[in-house]
Structure 1
Amino acid sequence: MEIRRYIEEDRPFLRTLYLASRKANWHWLNASAWQLEDFDQIIIGERVWVAIEQGYRVGFAAVSVNDNFLHSLYIAPGWQRRGIGSALLDEVETTFTSIGALKCLSANTAALAFYLQRGWHRVSSGESELGSYELMHLRK
């Protein structure tokens, strides 16, 4: 597997991946208004890494480097549970200069379990337009 920085040629593939991953994993939400272009908004100002496996773009992570904040970690539905999320998270965690942070939707129990297994800790919870979330930290 290759993890590399985002290039503009990745955009159409990652748009599709982002939409498909949200529909597959956030099944409790109404996806009727979601669009391919939603991807464009979530990467503004972010450092983005792309996972490539067997010639396919299979996942990405987007981070606000100045804040040590992981905003996005998405894996294509057919490629989940193959270590791709762990590889992307390994890359992201190397960039943290202090405590890493992320928010994970509380209803996304698979993602919460993944982050907890990786050593992240719940520090608080809150509400967003998508529902309740857990704020998590990773000590550097």
Structure 2
Amino acid sequence: MARRKIASQNNNLILRAMQPGDTDALAHIYLDARILNFPWVKSPKLADFELASFGEVVQVAIFDDEIVGFASLSEWDSFLHLLFIKVGFQRQGIGTLLLNWARQMTKAPLELKVVTANISAQHFYEREGFKMVAHTILSNPTNVTYRDDRDS
């Protein structure tokens, strides 16, 4: 029997605004993903999450009472700064739900950056209708900027 996507099991998955008690779980998701996928980050720490998301609106994905992902959005410039899914919960539709939340929160087309080496993230955003609008080779690591190309 094929495993159903978590996102299709709407009764068990909820999105809600971040609450003060969520910080530790979100910081662990952020740290774990950075350790696994961002080898250029030297000495990542749990405190990095609060620094990275400061001043942004954070939405949390919860499945069966477990925090399984989050997105942080800079509303003033329609910039999706962070979108991270807990290890073991990727490819279940959670990222798409968080992305759709961010789209609903902005008036201008949503923009985001992806490190050039993060091919799976680039494929995800392209499947979701984003188009590459810039490629920055002077930053370290190099990155690409994507803009939502869907009709909003």
Q: TM-score range by the shorter chain?
A: over 0.9
- Is it true that 1:87 corresponds to 2:77 in the alignment? no
> 1:128 maps to what in 2?
139
- Is it true that 1:5 corresponds to 2:17 in the alignment? yes
**1:25 shift after superposition:** 2.6
> 2:7 maps to what in 1?
none
> 2:4 maps to what in 1?
none
% of aligned pairs identical?
33
5+ residue gaps, structure 1, are none
- Is it true that 1:66 corresponds to 2:76 in the alignment? yes
- Cα separation, 1, equivalents of 2:45 and 2:25: 13
- Cα separation, 2, equivalents of 1:81 and 1:52: 15
**1:22 shift after superposition:** 1.5
TM-score (normalised: structure 2): 0.86
- Is it true that 1:107 corresponds to 2:117 in the alignment? yes
**1:137 shift after superposition:** 0.4
Structure with the greater alpha carbon radius of gyration = 2
Whether the 8 Å CA contact 1:24–1:77 is kept in 2: the answer is no
- Is it true that 1:41 corresponds to 2:51 in the alignment? yes
Name the Cα RMSD after superposition: 1.2
- Structure 1 runs of 4+ off > 3 angstroms? none
1:77 corresponds to which of 87, 111, 120: 87
Q: Counterpart amino acid of 2:110?
A: G
Whether the 8 Å CA contact 2:34–2:44 is kept in 1: the answer is no
Give deviations 1:69-117, integer Å, cap 9, x for gaps: 0000000111111111011111111112012110001100000000000
**1:30 shift after superposition:** 4.1
Residue 40 of structure 1 aligns to a residue in which SS? helix
- Cα separation, 2, equivalents of 1:55 and 1:119: 30
2:36 corresponds to which of 12, 24, 31: 24
- Cα separation, 2, equivalents of 1:31 and 1:120: 26
> 2:8 maps to what in 1?
none
Q: Point out the structure with the larger strand share.
A: 1
- Cα separation, 2, equivalents of 1:18 and 1:111: 15
Q: Counterpart amino acid of 2:23?
A: R
Residue 73 of structure 1 aligns to a residue in which SS? strand
Whether the 8 Å CA contact 1:48–1:62 is kept in 2: the answer is yes
TM-score (normalised: structure 1): 0.93
